[in-house]
Structure 1
């Protein structure tokens, strides 16, 4: 009952914000592979096509895999994964991944930083391998670095500190509009289909780190990810 009420409230809110009666609410928790599978099954039953651009979190790769054929039905299609420049500092320890199902062995601040960098390397490698598997299908894939973006103040930050740092941050960081430009470029720019699997930054093709160009590493990560996802 409560889920139905929540869906109704969300539908009303979305309509008020967008003015569109055709917005469909589907529940998806990217931290749960069960939720991802349920979402994919519901989507495939109800929707004729998929237009999807998002960050690559736990389980998201599986969603792309499940919807793989649906993307091919509505070609030309594009898949865009938001990675980061920090992928260059990433590493994939496959024995650790097999034993702990994680990219790092601890939960310290340094481990969290390592996990972030490594996850972004996974984004780049996933895009590369997916492009190889979709070659000739008219579905193209791109990974990108959006730039460092200035986000709105979180609840945990003090108001006084926020006021002090914002003037300096605006000199160093992009606003949300600026931070979206490379994503929009990959989604909309004509003629970049031959660059499927490649990496973009500042609306231009960029070279990834050496590990991000390793096709054997990309293929192994894909296969391990399939096993970990139960596919």
Structure 2
């Protein structure tokens, strides 16, 4: 006769096994980058490469013998990431930690000066870094831009513009802009791109299901990719956006309380990708030769994805021009 103790012990074990099988089944739909071409001699620049998807992307590229520039706000964390990779992977490409604060135009300019002094070309620029911060905190960049607008969009746009010469020297080269399917939740108000009205509502206690700052910045990423692809058509530089998917990273650390880890554990286990799984699409967009020459596309799960968002060419052009004006003036308009 089986004792009650054995039965009670078997129940949680069985539950864990079932959950594990469900996750394994779900992960079969999460594509992997099958391209494993040697990238020796190619230089990749990744913003925010010290953690999460950026770090996993760097690891994948280093395995393929690439030279990877870790463009990170915290240089010590960048060095730690490099040390971690070297500890895990004895051989591989070259890893170069460099300091870059996308919340400061001055930092971006100094960073580009150093890059141009040390490298004669950049083969692939991966605009990966991003922030998600509660609007009620009213955080701004050094120039006074709302933090999501300033870091996720304007900072990367300025960096990209300053690195175009090095990308042209490496043609065929690529620009990969990491966006999100949450761009469909974005709504641009050109009279208030700095979200003053939304921030006021957030401070008064009004809560939005999706962070308007983040969603808007992801929509701006999409428009930036599309506009830049048109501007660089036939230049030899491909510009594409991609979505890593719903990933378990520290991106939403400002919103997570200790009890969320308990409440969200089943959801995270069953529905969220790991950072490594999310990086697969980024690596695909940056390296797969099958999409070379294709520009202005959006990729998800290592395949082209047609967004349901009703992109407007006039809105795209207006955003690009307004963004250039803000970068040039170095202040919110």
Which TM-score bucket, shorter chain as reference?
0.7 to 0.9
C-alpha displacement at 1:28, in angstroms?
1.0
Partner of 2:61: none
Match of 2:278 in 1: 179
Q: 1:210 & 1:193 partners in 2: Cα distance?
A: 25
Look up the match of 1:113.
211
Distance in 2 separating the partners of 1:16 and 1:207: 39
Contact 2:185 2:210 in 1 (8 A): no
- Which aligned runs of 4 or more in structure 1 are off by greater than 4 angstroms? 9-15, 152-156
Superposition deviation, residue 203 in structure 1: 1.4
State the 1:143 CA deviation.
0.7
Provide closer, same or farther for how the CA distance between residues 169 and 68 of structure 1 changes in structure 2, counting only shifts above 3 A. Answer: same
Residues 10 and 200 of structure 1: CA distance in aligned 2, closer, same or farther (over 3 Å): closer
Query: Which residue of structure 1 lines up, in the alignment, with residue 168 of structure 2?
Result: 72
Distance verdict in 2 for CA 1:23–1:188, change over 3 Å = closer
Match of 1:136 among 202, 224, 234: 234
TM-superposed CA distance for 1:91, in Å, is 1.6
Inter-partner Cα distance in structure 1 for 2:215 and 2:222: 11
Pairs aligned (count): 219
- How far did residue 112 of structure 1 move? 7.0
Match of 1:146 among 244, 252, 255: 244
Runs of 5+ in structure 1 lacking a partner? 1-5
1:30 and 1:59 in contact (8 A); partners too:
yes
Written as runs of structure 1 = structure 2, the 5 A alignment for 1:1-231 is 13=80, 16-19=83-86, 23-50=95-122, 51-55=124-128, 57=152, 58-97=154-193, 102-103=194-195, 105-107=197-199, 108=202, 109-110=207-208, 113-151=211-249, 157-158=257-258, 161-163=260-262, 165-212=264-311, 214-230=312-328
CA distance in 2, matches of 1:172, 1:48: 42
Structure 1 position 163, deviation (Å): 4.4
TM-score by length of 1: 0.82
**1:104–1:114 contact (8 Å) kept in structure 2:** no
> For residues 29-60 of structure 1, what are the alpha-carbon distances to aligned partners after superposition, in whole Å with 9 as ceiling and x for unaligned?
11111211221122112222223213362411
Q: Structure 2: 5+ residue runs without aligned partners?
A: 1-73, 87-91, 131-151
Which one has the largest radius of gyration? Answer: 2
Which of the pair is proportionally richer in helix?
1
Cα separation, partners in 2 of 1:170 and 1:119, compared to 1, 3 Å: same
**In structure 2, do the counterparts of structure 1 residues 30 and 61 end up closer, same or farther at CA, with 3 Å as the change threshold?**
same
How far apart are the structure 2 equivalents of 1:205 and 1:59? 26
